[in-house]
C-alpha cells in the first residue's frame, strides 16, 4: 500500500500543477511565456467599481506576494485559462502581483516548505484547500497566526468566522477561510449514460432517488472488468463515499482530535463500499503501475470506458483544453451530481473542504497577503463580481445552465451539511495510516481487500496512539 499512496500523490501533483513548470524541478524565477488572459471591458468595469468600494485599503510597502504550491494562482496553465476575479481585483486595486514558487513535487511539499523557512527565505503564503496544513504546520512552526491581520467581526469576514474557528490552536487562528467548497463531485458523460441505457444521475437526483443503492446498481450494471470497463477511477472515491456517511474518520472538535473509526456511520458506508467492490467496479490501478487510466484525470469518461469520476469541481472549472478527457462541456456531454448518501440518510452530506490560506512563518509581506485575501472575500460577496466567474464558466469554458444550477445546489448543501476530514492535517504518519484505512475495503486487488471489521481491528490501536501523541503536542 505504500506505493499506492505515493503514486496517488504523484498523479495529483502532475495533474493539478497543470503546466507552468515541471514538477521535477523548481523555477525560482518562475518566468512564463504564457500571455495572461485579461477580463473583458465590461468585466473590468465591475472590478473598477469594486475598487472604489474598498474605502479603507491596506497600506502596502511591497505589492508582490510569494505563493508556494504545486499550482499557480496566475492564469499560466494554458492560453484559454481565465484570470480569477480575486487576482484581477488585487492587480487593479493594489497593483499587486503573485510570484509563484513551485514545490519540487507533492511528496516533498512540506520538506520543501520547511527548507525555505529554516533558510530564512520563506514564501508569504500557502493554501489550506487540501485540508493537509492544520494542525501539523502550526506544530512544525511553518505558519504563523493570522489574527493580527483580520478582524472576524468585520462584515467582510464575519460569516467566515465559524469556519476559521476550526483552525484554532493555542487560542489563535491559523488559516483565513474565504469560502466552503465541496471537496468531491461525481462527474459523468451523458453519452455514456445513454449508450448503456442507464438512468441519468442528475434526473435521479431531482426525483430524490440518487443514493448509494441506485449508484451501486449503476456501477455494477456498467462494469466489465475483463474489458477494463470500470464504473470508478481516480483517487477520491473511497474518501468521498466514506464522508458521505456524515462522519469523517478524523475530526477536530473544540480543539480535540477525534478518532471516529468505531462509529456506526463509517461502518455503514464502508460495508456498502466492500459489497460494491465485490463486483470489481474500480479501475485496476494496481495493474497499471498505480496510475489512473491514461495517467491523466478524467481519461475514460468521454470514451465511455469509465462511468463516474469522483473528483473536485476544480477538474471542470477549467479551460476546454484541460477538460477534454471528460467530454465537450459546450455540447452538454458532461454533467455531475453530489456524492450519493444512504437512502435513509437524515441529510445530504457533502464531503467538503475549505478554500483558505495560511501565512508562512517569517513571511516578508504578510500585509500584502492580507490584502489579496480581502480581495478574495470581495470577489465572493459582490454579486456582480461573482457573476464574472459564472460567466467565465459559461462563455469560456462551455458550462451549461444545468451544470451551473447543480453547482449552486451543491455549494448550498456544503454550507448546510459539510463533512470536513482532518486526517491529512495531523501528521504524515496519520495521513499514511488513514489513507490505507479508508481505501482497503475497495482495494482493486481482491487479495488485498479486507472487510471493515478487519480494518478496524487491525488499525484502531495504532491510530489512537498517533492521535493521542498529536493531541499532547496541541495541548502544550
DSSP letters spanning 247-293? --SEEEETTEEEE-TT-HHHHHHHHHHHHHHTT--B--GGGTTT--G
Nine cell digits for residue 123: 514564501
- Of all residues in the chain, what percent are helix, strand and coil, respectively (each to 5)? 45, 15, 40
**What 3-state class would DSSP assign to 66?**
strand
CATH (one of 3.40.50.20, 3.40.190.10, 3.10.20.90, 3.40.50.300) for 185-350+419-475:
3.40.190.10
pLDDT at 34: 52
pLDDT digits (tens, 9 = 90+) for 340-362: 999 999 999 999 999 999 999 99
* pLDDT above 50: residue 12: no
pLDDT at 31: 39
Q: What local confidence, expressed as pLDDT, does residue 197 receive?
A: 98
What is the arithmetic mean of pLDDT over 396-416?
Answer: 96
Residue 13 in this model has a pLDDT that exceeds 50? no
Find which of 32-36, 93-97, 133-137 is predicted with most confidence, using mean pLDDT: 93-97
The mean pLDDT of the chain is 91
**255 vs 212: which has the higher pLDDT:** 212
| Cα–Cα separations (whole angstroms), residue 454 to 12, 196, 448 | 29, 36, 12
Of the two residues 455 and 15, the one the predictor is more confident about is 455
CATH of domain 16-182+353-408: 3.40.190.10
| pLDDT for position 26 | 35
Predicted confidence (pLDDT) per residue in 237-271, tens digit: 999 999 999 999 999 888 789 999 999 999 999 99
Q: Can you give the pLDDT at residue 387?
A: 93
Residue 62, judged by CB atoms within 10 A of its CB (0-12, 13-18, 19+), counts as exposed
What is the pLDDT, as a whole number, of residue 166?
87
Parallel/antiparallel/unpaired status of strands 143-144 and 125-127: unpaired
Pick from 186, 188, 235: nearest CA to 12: 235
What's residue 52's pLDDT? 93
Question: Would you give the DSSP letter of residue 224?
Answer: B
Radius of gyration of the chain (CA): 22
User: Which cell numbers in the block locate residue 419?
Assistant: 463533512
Q: pLDDT band for position 35 (50/70/90)?
A: low
The Cα–Cα gap between 458 and 460 comes to 6
Stretch(es) of the chain classified as CATH 3.40.190.10: 16-182+353-408, 185-350+419-475
Taking CA atoms, 247 is separated from 202, 258, 318, 427, 442, in Å, by 24, 11, 30, 20, 18
Mean pLDDT within 328-335: 97
Asked if the model's pLDDT at residue 406 lies above 90, the reply is: yes
Please give the share of the chain, as a percent, with pLDDT higher than 90: 83
Contact 449, 274 (CB under 8 A): yes
Query: Model confidence over 72-106: pLDDT tens digits?
Result: 999 876 778 889 999 999 999 999 999 999 988 88
Residues 6+ apart with CB under 8 A from 299: 233, 292, 293, 306, 325
Amino acid at each position: 500500500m505504500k506505493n499506492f499512496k505515493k503514486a496517488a500523490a504523484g498523479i495529483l501533483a502532475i495533474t493539478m500543477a497543470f503546466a507552468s513548470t515541471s514538477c521535477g524541478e523548481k523555477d525560482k524565477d518562475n518566468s512564463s511565456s504564457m500571455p495572461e488572459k485579461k477580463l473583458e471591458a465590461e468585466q473590468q468595469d465591475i472590478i473598477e467599481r469594486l475598487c472604489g468600494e474598498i474605502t479603507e485599503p491596506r497600506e502596502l510597502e511591497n505589492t508582490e506576494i510569494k505563493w508556494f504550491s504545486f499550482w499557480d494562482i496566475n492564469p499560466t496553465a494554458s492560453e484559454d485559462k481565465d484570470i480569477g476575479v480575486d487576482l484581477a481585483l488585487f492587480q487593479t486595486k493594489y497593483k499587486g502581483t503573485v510570484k509563484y514558487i513551485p514545490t519540487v513535487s507533492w511528496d516533498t511539499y512540506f520538506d520543501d516548505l520547511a527548507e525555505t523557512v529554516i533558510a530564512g527565505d520563506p514564501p508569504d503564503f500557502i493554501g489550506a484547500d487540501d485540508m493537509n496544513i492544520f494542525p501539523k504546520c502550526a506544530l512544525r512552526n511553518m505558519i504563523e497566526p493570522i489574527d493580527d491581520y483580520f478582524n472576524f467581526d468585520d462584515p467582510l469576514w464575519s460569516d467566515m468566522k465559524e469556519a476559521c474557528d476550526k483552525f484554532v490552536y493555542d487560542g489563535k487562528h491559523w488559516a483565513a477561510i474565504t469560502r466552503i467548497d465541496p471537496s468531491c463531485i461525481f462527474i459523468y458523460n451523458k453519452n455514456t449514460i445513454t449508450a448503456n441505457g442507464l438512468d441519468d444521475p442528475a434526473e435521479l437526483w431531482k426525483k430524490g432517488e440518487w443514493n448509494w443503492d441506485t449508484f451501486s446498481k449503476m456501477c455494477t450494471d456498467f462494469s466489465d472488468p475483463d474489458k477494463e470497463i470500470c464504473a470508478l477511477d481516480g483517487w477520491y472515491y473511497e474518501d468521498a463515499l466514506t464522508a458521505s456517511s456524515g462522519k469523517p474518520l478524523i475530526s477536530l472538535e473544540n480543539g480535540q482530535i477525534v478518532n471516529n473509526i468505531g462509529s456506526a456511520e463509517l461502518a455503514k458506508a464502508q460495508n456498502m463500499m466492500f459489497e460494491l467492490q465485490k463486483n470489481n467496479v474500480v479501475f485496476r490501478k494496481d495493474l497499471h503501475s498505480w496510475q489512473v487510466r491514461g495517467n491523466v484525470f478524467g481519461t475514460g469518461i468521454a470514451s465511455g470506458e469509465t462511468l463516474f469520476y469522483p473528483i473536485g469541481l476544480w477538474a471542470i472549472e477549467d479551460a476546454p483544453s484541460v477538460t477534454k478527457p471528460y467530454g465537450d462541456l459546450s455540447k452538454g456531454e458532461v454533467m455531475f451530481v453530489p456524492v450519493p448518501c444512504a437512502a435513509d440518510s437524515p441529510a445530504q452530506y457533502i464531503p467538503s473542504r475549505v478554500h483558505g490560506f495560511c501565512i508562512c512563518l517569517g513571511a516578508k509581506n504578510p500585509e500584502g497577503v492580507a490584502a489579496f485575501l480581502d480581495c478574495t472575500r470581495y470577489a465572493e460577496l459582490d454579486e456582480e463580481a461573482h457573476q464574472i466567474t459564472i460567466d467565465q464558466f459559461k462563455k469560456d469554458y462551455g458550462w451549461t445552465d444545468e451544470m451551473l444550477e447543480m453547482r449552486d445546489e451543491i455549494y448550498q448543501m456544503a454550507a448546510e451539511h459539510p463533512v470536513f476530514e482532518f486526517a491529512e492535517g495531523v501528521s504524515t504518519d496519520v495521513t499514511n495510516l488513514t489513507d490505507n484505512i479508508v481505501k482497503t475495503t475497495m482495494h482493486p486487488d481482491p487479495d488485498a481487500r479486507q472487510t471493515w471489521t478487519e480494518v478496524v481491528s487491525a488499525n484502531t490501536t495504532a491510530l489512537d496512539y498517533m492521535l493521542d501523541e498529536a493531541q499532547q503536542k496541541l495541548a502544550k
